[in-house]
Amino acid sequence: MANQLYEFTIKVTRGDGCDLPKNMAGAYVPCYVGAPNFQVAVQRGVAAITGLHYLFQDIQGQVREIPFASWTEYIAKVWPDFPDHFPSQGELPSLVERGTVFFGPFAGF
């Protein structure tokens, strides 16, 4: 498989037309991207979030590669309250191969 799965957190602020609740100025958004390298992953993630009318501010922390084989364990450990929010282990390879971008739960501020 040419693409790998990358994960990073994007800091965004309110843009015209975004779905952010009015009492929040912005959010930290976990971003998951199928890409051949981390630079392309960041480019795709930023394009996807700005396409939803959020204003990109920064990447928080490091960009990490997540091994496909440990996806189920990763979700159980990192997102134990939100397993249904994410694709299943079986869905993941085709999403990554297509270069899909998906987001975890937003943490507003």
- pLDDT, one tens digit per residue, over 44-60 is 999 999 999 999 999 99
Q: Where are the domains of the chain?
A: 4-108
Q: What is the pLDDT of residue 92?
A: 96
Q: How far apart are CA 86 and CA 75, in angstroms?
A: 8
Alpha-carbon distance of 18 to 73, in angstroms, equals 32
From the CB of residue 12, how many other CB atoms can be counted at a distance below 10 Å?
A: 24
For tokens 């501020």, name the residue: 109
What pLDDT is stored for residue 1 in this prediction? 53
pLDDT band at residue 68, thresholds of 50, 70 and 90?
confident
Report the predicted TM-score, pTM, of the whole model to 2 decimal places: 0.94
